[in-house]
Structure 1
Amino acid sequence: MKSFFVLAALATSALAQRIAIGIPTDRQEIPAGSNFTVEVDRPNSLTGSTEVAIAIGLASCSRFPGGSCASLDPSELLGTILYAGPYSPQLSNSSKPPHQNFTVTIPNDFPHGDASFTVSHFSLVGAGPFAFFETQNTTVQIV
């Protein structure tokens, strides 16, 4: 019974550390060859954590059945890596949660159509600490 409570506490702590993709929004149109800003949010939490890194990737859905992103598992395929490195979200003077912006470039020859935009996040959570890894994604339109 004691181990159940420990596992439940760890799971709750991990859920409090989740990121969110602020920009781009779902179904946002992004021109191939363009630079654009990516906003990765990480809401405040009472549980301590140390941010380690993120990777931002873009995978064309045109190579999947019907050109649909539905059959793509973003935790298994990041596609073209647009950024990989440190993540250090900061609180700003706006109403936004702590976040960090990244300027990335969509390759000129990236296929047009639906694409899975994925952010993979790694952090250390709690006093232990324990490793926490997650993947968030949204579908964008490359035009």
Structure 2
Amino acid sequence: MKSILSGLSLAFLAASAFAQNAAIGYPPQGLSVSPGTNLTVQVERPNSLTGSEEVAVVIGLQSCPGTPCIAPADFMGQILYNGPFNPQYHETYNPPYENFTIQIPSNIATGTALLGVAHVTLIGAGLYPWLETLNRTITIS
């Protein structure tokens, strides 16, 4: 019986964690941007039944033309934003989100680049830490 309860507890924790996932709402996969221009990065945070407290978002960009990009969990690239995350409702048909304006470095190489987002939140009644990484491939032209 004890192992069944332990298994159920782990399943509940895993389900709670996955319910806290953020998503990149913008830019779309493959968007073409020019060096030196501004880019809006929209980070969405759907509601969940589990309580949470947002901590931060980090947005990085790595240039990887001709080579495989490295997962943001291992390498964020050049950090373009590091700070608070406070998603809000803007339209009734979208989940809460926050837009961040970043500037594409003027000296970045043309070709494939990987936009990485690290999302940190505290989840549940005991507020345990949760870290997830997201990514979106864009093209520097």
Q: Same fold (TM over 0.5)?
A: yes
Looking at structure 2, the residues matched to 97 and 29 of structure 1 have their Cα atoms a distance apart, in angstroms, of 25
Report deviation, 1:38. Answer: 0.8
User: 1:4 is paired with a residue of what secondary structure?
Assistant: helix
CA RMSD of aligned residues (A): 1.0
**Identity, % of aligned pairs?**
47
In the alignment, which residue of structure 2 is the partner of 1:110?
A: 108
After TM superposition, the structure 1 = structure 2 runs for residues 1-143 of structure 1, keeping only pairs within 5 Å, are 1-62=4-65, 66-69=66-69, 72-143=70-141
Please identify runs of 4+ aligned residues in structure 1 that moved more than 3 A. none
Report deviation, 1:44. Answer: 1.1
* Cα deviation 1:80-131 (Å, max 9, x = unaligned): 1110000000011342110000111011001111011110000000101211
Which amino acid in 2 is paired with 1:58? Answer: L
The answer for unaligned runs of 5 or more in structure 1 is none
Report deviation, 1:67. Answer: 2.4
User: 1:87 is paired with a residue of what secondary structure?
Assistant: coil
Which amino acid in 1 is paired with 2:105? Answer: P
Could you state the TM-score of these two structures normalised by the residue count of structure 2?
0.94
Report deviation, 1:68. Answer: 3.1
Which amino acid in 2 is paired with 1:46? Answer: L
Which amino acid in 2 is paired with 1:111? Answer: A
Looking at structure 2, the residues matched to 101 and 30 of structure 1 have their Cα atoms a distance apart, in angstroms, of 17
Count of residues in correspondence between the two structures: 138
Looking at structure 1, the residues matched to 76 and 27 of structure 2 have their Cα atoms a distance apart, in angstroms, of 16
Contact 1:118–1:136 (8 Å) recurs in 2: yes
Could you state the TM-score of these two structures normalised by the residue count of structure 1?
0.92
* Cα deviation 1:21-75 (Å, max 9, x = unaligned): 011111011111001211000111111100000100001113xxx4233xx2221
